[in-house]
Amino acid sequence: MDIFTLLQKFKNDEIDISEVEKQLRLSHIETVHKIARIDTHRIKRTGVPEAILAEGKTKKDLKNIALAQLKAEGRSLITRVSPAQKNALLDLIEQHHLPYIWNDCADTMILHQTEITKTGGRVGIITAGTSDIPVAEEARVTAEEMGCEVVTLYDAGVAGIHRLFTGLGKIIDSRVDSFVVAAGREGTLPAIVAGLVDTPVIGVPVSTGYGEGGGGKAALLSMLQSCSVISVVNIDAGFTAGAFAAKIANAIAKARNSKQ
């Protein structure tokens, strides 16, 4: 039970003060079959939802955790879902008649019983190549889950730099509050974007590329050595990049809204 519902029940004399105290003490952590402890107040405390990383979890455990989080918070974001895990989640969805959103590119699943509250934050997401899109889509799903509007420009890498210039202006015109820029191979694009805009840029090295420095390593080192000012997350860390960009955007939106 979320805090608003709890207080509404107290206001309507449906529960007494001792029950409110009890629920507040219990509400921070939801224990699931001794396999997980869901941090149900994370998004209220930090602004970032607790995502369920499917990678490494059994199908049974994943289903139990996802359902428990959905019941506790009204939404459940699951990342890095394998084909077998997807089928298990679809069985859960059919069994409980749950609304869901599947992103086939990012391999993310959202179970939802409540709608997202729009914050007014705006995030721009750019990729160097088509191969970088799955990581960018994970960032997009995350930022949207945090209430942001997302504007994208995909396949705008430095080998055809004119593609960036023709698309970047449209994103700037959207007045985004932060950028996520995903690039593999030599990872040049985030530094270039940061040299063209006055908005925070988060670089995401992607594990494309091969041979010496492949797997995202050259991209990571290149971004860490960027002359233009950027922040950098780990290789393929789309969730982290999307969450950080959304935190920036939401903070700016909050300040913007307070002046209206």
pLDDT per position as a tens digit, 202-250:
999 999 989 999 999 999 999 999 999 999 999 999 999 999 999 999 9
**Which segments of 130-209 are extended strands (E)?**
149-153, 178-183, 201-205
pLDDT per position as a tens digit, 37-77:
677 667 777 888 889 999 999 999 999 999 988 988 899 99
pLDDT per position as a tens digit, 82-137:
999 999 999 999 999 999 999 999 999 999 999 999 999 999 999 999 999 999 99
Query: Domains plus CATH for the chain?
Result: 3-112 (no CATH), 122-258 (3.40.50.1970)
Which residues, in sequence order, are bridge partners of residue 36? 32
Separation CA 33–CA 119 (nearest Å): 34
What pLDDT does residue 23 have? 74
Instruction: Collapse the DSSP code of 50 into the 3-class scheme (helix H, G, I; strand E, B; otherwise coil) and give the result.
Output: coil
